[in-house]
């Protein structure tokens, strides 16, 4: 018996038992899972990066060697390690090494900057921070130096590539060592929530629950040892990692190809070269790929499945996928907190075009409710609540927030407004949470408002979504100035200097005398959204 992990909300015992009995939770850790894959798939290629290809056996061995290196540094079970890597082979080596050790990766995105990373390190009391030297013209070592100054718990900065002042990851691969035992019911790592509050929330995922979602996803998508998956979006994102993503393909014995950029230039090259069969994109990227595919010189004929998710796909774009790529479209509506919905291969075409799919599991409990948590009729729009074998019961160390984000009987309040069709498929109709979905990248309004409010010339601020033909939504911040309004450019520069990820910088700033309020005195964001939508609407 191990001590319960502080800050983690386990499933109630009767649910856990049910999930085990139903065969969802197999009692296997990521470490064992990878060993088993190496046994079975041996010298087959598991990962293809820009510089290296790794077989299953090599990946398994490298993970053990790196785990030994981490142990040598003093990293222990349950220690948190912030991992911020682009789509490189090292991402998997590091994650699997930490899994094997029982240390817990916190999966940051490459776009995150000082504000986010510093928070993750401080909040989780991370002992190490893993980066690449450079990516996309950005030097992560500069960021790491700032993080070291702000987060004293971070004892090690480990660098894939040129280490500069820090430690080269390459030097840590050691002789395999005896590793402590890990438990399948334990937290394996942290995903990040899109969030709607002042600070990002961390999502603890266990070996048992995550591996179930991966295995079941791989089955729904009919993956096998001949599947070749292109990770075009960031590998750390839940969609790319697990729906079925890289892990799903590794589960099936297939090959994962890592693209550094999601651009058609690079992605199409990989598709041709590695004969990619399946990949996943967000809707704006889908539109870009569709355009580029019209006159590409690359052979894309190997592609059998294009998955689209992360934000709402328009039916117009959806309809073009089959004709352009000659492959099946699959809509994916998922969340890092758990629940993932897929359209199925045998769904009628209109269901594939017009719905966001149905849940993975028979034991995914889905409720669609009104503002008072009463179930609405099939076909009516309501709040989506869910619980199940791979949906968390609480965010990490967030007791007060969990009271609001979960019902008393453990349903997660997704914040999504959906409609359920008679066939059980879900259609995303909107959002109740205070978040902007900028083409799949999530922005928590309150987080940005707090940053804007820190500007000395700002008295009040409200961030809302404005419609955008390409991204679906962009962000607009309404600012009430104390006296003379600052220049918009100056506010933007101020936010950048605070170390915010680029995608979170408001796309537009509107100065306003006062924020409109509702009858109960809350900021009337509906009115602000309507106002900005009207203002930017094409005239005529
Ligand atoms: C509309 N909104 C969607 C969709 C997600 C697979 C796919 C996506 C994610 C993801 C994921 C949507 N149509 N098809 O984790 O495993 C919005 C909803 C949802 C939120 C979750 C996966 N697919 N969304 O996007 O944690 O609002 O996960 O609650 O980043 O994205 O965001 P995230």
Beta-strand ranges (E) seen in 321-447 are 328-335, 338-342, 358-359, 365-369, 381-387, 412-420, 426-431, 435-438, 441-444
Residue 444 to residue 175: CA distance in whole angstroms: 44
pLDDT of res. 175: 87
Average pLDDT of the residues in 142-157: 98
Establish whether residue 401 lines the binding site of ligand 1, counting it when its CB lies within 6 angstroms of any ligand atom. Answer: no
Distance 40 CA to ligand 1 centre (A): 33
Q: Are 480 and 460 in contact (CB under 8 A)?
A: yes
Q: What is the pLDDT of residues 483-533, one digit of tens each?
A: 999 999 999 999 999 999 999 999 999 999 999 999 999 999 999 999 999
Q: Which two tokens stand for residue 1?
A: 């018996």
What pLDDT was estimated at residue 529? 98
Is the pTM above the cut of 0.90?
A: yes
3-class DSSP assignment, residue 250: helix
Average pLDDT over residues 343-358: 98
Which helix (H) or strand (E) covers residue 305, if one does? Answer: strand 305-309
Task: Please check whether residue 315 is in contact with residue 354, taking contact to mean a CB–CB distance below 8 angstroms.
Answer: yes
Cis bond before residue 244 (omega within 30° of 0): yes
Question: Is ligand 1 within 6 A of the CB of residue 312?
Answer: yes
- Taking only the tens place, the pLDDT of each residue in 30-82 is 999 999 999 999 999 999 999 999 999 999 999 999 999 999 999 999 999 99
Q: What number is the average pLDDT over the span 90-105?
A: 98
Expressed in angstroms and rounded, the spacing between residue 309 Cα and the centre of ligand 1 is 6
Q: Which residue's entry shows tokens 């900065």?
A: 157
**Model confidence at 105, in pLDDT bands (50, 70, 90)?**
very high
> What is the rounded average pLDDT for all residues in the chain?
97
Q: Whose CA is nearest to atom 9 of ligand 1?
A: 334
Residue 1 has pLDDT above 80, yes or no: no
Residues with Cβ < 8 Å from 99, sequence gap 6 or more? 29, 30, 31, 34, 63, 105, 182, 188, 189, 207
Looking at residue 406, what is its pLDDT? 98
Q: How many CA atoms lie within 13 A of 24 on its CB side?
A: 22
Residue 342 CB less than 6 A away from ligand 1: no
Per-residue pLDDT band at 4 (split at 50, 70, 90): confident
Per-residue pLDDT tens over the stretch 296-341: 999 999 999 999 999 999 999 999 999 999 999 999 999 999 999 9
C-alpha of residue 339 to centroid of ligand 1, in Å: 9
The pLDDT value recorded for residue 70 is: 98
Q: At 385, is the pLDDT very low, low, confident or very high (cuts 50, 70, 90)?
A: very high
Give the pLDDT of residue 2.
Answer: 64
What is the per-residue pLDDT for 539? 81
Determine the pLDDT at residue 272: 98
Give yes or no for residue 540 having a pLDDT over 80: no
Q: Is the pLDDT of residue 434 over 80?
A: yes
Average pLDDT over residues 414-432: 98
Q: Give the bridge partners for 157, in sequence order.
A: 129
With tokens 């083409």, the residue in question is 439
Domains of the chain: 30-182 (3.40.50.980), 435-536 (3.30.300.30)
Distance separating alpha carbons of residues 144 and 147, to the nearest angstrom: 5
What number is the average pLDDT over the span 191-195?
A: 94
Pocket test for ligand 1, best of 233, 278, 279, 310 (most atoms within 8 A of CB): 310
Residue nearest to atom 2 of ligand 1 (CA): 311
Of 108-112, 197-201, 368-372, 426-430, the range with the lowest mean pLDDT is 197-201
From the CA of 124, how far away is ligand 1's center (Å)? 24
What pLDDT was estimated at residue 410? 98
pLDDT above 90: residue 97: yes
pLDDT at residue 197, rounded to an integer: 86
Tens digits of per-residue pLDDT, 207-223?
999 999 999 999 999 99
Pairing of strands 53-55, 45-48: antiparallel
Predicted local confidence at residue 198, as pLDDT: 87
Nearest to 91 by CA among 47, 144, 38, 55: 47
287 CA distance to ligand 1 middle (Å)? 18
Residue 110 has pLDDT above 60, yes or no: yes
Half-sphere exposure for 397 (CA within 13 Å, toward CB): 11
Percent of the chain's residues with pLDDT above 70:
99
Question: Cα(366) to centroid of ligand 1, in Å?
Answer: 16
Ligand 1 atom showing the smallest separation from residue 331 Cα: 14
Q: What is the pLDDT of residue 3?
A: 77
Q: Which atom of ligand 1 is nearest to the CA of 384?
A: 29
């Amino acid at each position: 018996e191990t001590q319960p992990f502080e800050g983690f909300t386990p499933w109630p015992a009767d649910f856990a038992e049910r999930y085990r009995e139903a065969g969802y939770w197999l009692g296997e850790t990521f470490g064992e899972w990878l060993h088993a894959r190496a046994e079975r798939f041996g010298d087959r290629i598991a990962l293809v990066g820009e510089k290296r290809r790794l077989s299953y056996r090599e990946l398994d061995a490298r993970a053990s060697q790196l785990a030994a290196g981490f142990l040598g540094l003093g990293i222990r079970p349950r220690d948190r390690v912030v991992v911020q890597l682009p789509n490189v082979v090292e991402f998997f080596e590091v994650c699997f090494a930490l899994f094997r050790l029982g240390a817990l990766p916190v999966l940051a995105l490459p776009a995150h900057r000082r504000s986010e990373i510093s928070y993750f390190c401080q909040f989780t009391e991370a002992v190490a921070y893993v980066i690449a030297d450079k990516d996309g013209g950005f030097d992560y070592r500069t960021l790491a130096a700032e993080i070291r100054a702000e987060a004293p718990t971070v004892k090690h900065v480990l660098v894939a590539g040129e280490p500069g002042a820090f430690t080269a990851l390459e030097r840590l691969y050691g002789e395999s060592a005896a590793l402590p035992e890990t438990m399948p019911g334990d937290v394996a790592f942290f995903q990040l929530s899109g969030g709607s509050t002042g600070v990002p929330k961390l999502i603890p995922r266990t070996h048992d629950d995550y591996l179930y979602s991966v295995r079941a996803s791989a089955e729904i998508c009919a993956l096998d040892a001949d599947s070749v998956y292109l990770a075009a979006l960031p590998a750390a994102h839940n969609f790319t990692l697990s729906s079925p993503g890289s892990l799903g393909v590794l589960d099936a014995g297939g090959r994962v190809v890592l693209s550094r950029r999601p651009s058609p230039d690079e992605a199409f090259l990989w598709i041709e070269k590695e004969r990619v069969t399946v990949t996943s994109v967000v809707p704006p990227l889908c539109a870009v790929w569709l355009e580029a595919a019209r006159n590409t010189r690359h052979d894309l004929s190997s592609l059998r499945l294009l998955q689209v998710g992360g934000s709402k796909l328009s039916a117009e774009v959806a309809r073009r996928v089959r004709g352009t790529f000659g492959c099946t479209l699959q809509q994916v509506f998922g969340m890092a907190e758990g629940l993932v919905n897929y359209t199925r291969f045998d769904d009628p075409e209109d269901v594939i075009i017009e719905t966001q799919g149905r849940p993975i599991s028979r034991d995914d409990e889905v409720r669609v409710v009104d503002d008072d948590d009463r179930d609405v009729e099939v076909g009516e729009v309501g709040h989506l609540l869910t619980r199940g074998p791979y949906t968390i019961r609480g965010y990490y160390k967030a007791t007060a927030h969990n009271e609001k984000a979960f019902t008393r009987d453990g349903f997660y309040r997704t914040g999504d407004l959906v409609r359920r069709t008679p066939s059980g498929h879900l259609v995303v109709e909107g959002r109740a949470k205070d978040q902007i979905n900028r083409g799949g990248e999530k922005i928590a309004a309150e987080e940005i408002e707090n940053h804007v409010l820190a500007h000395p010339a700002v008295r009040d601020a409200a961030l809302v979504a404005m419609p955008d033909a390409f991204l679906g939504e962009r962000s607009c911040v309404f600012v009430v100035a104390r006296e003379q309004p600052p220049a918009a450019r100056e506010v933007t520069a101020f936010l950048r200097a605070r170390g915010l990820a680029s995608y979170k910088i408001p796309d537009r700033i509107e100065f306003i005398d006062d924020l409109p309020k509702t009858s109960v005195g809350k900021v009337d964001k509906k009115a602000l959204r309507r106002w900005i939508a009207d203002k930017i609407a094409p005239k005529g």
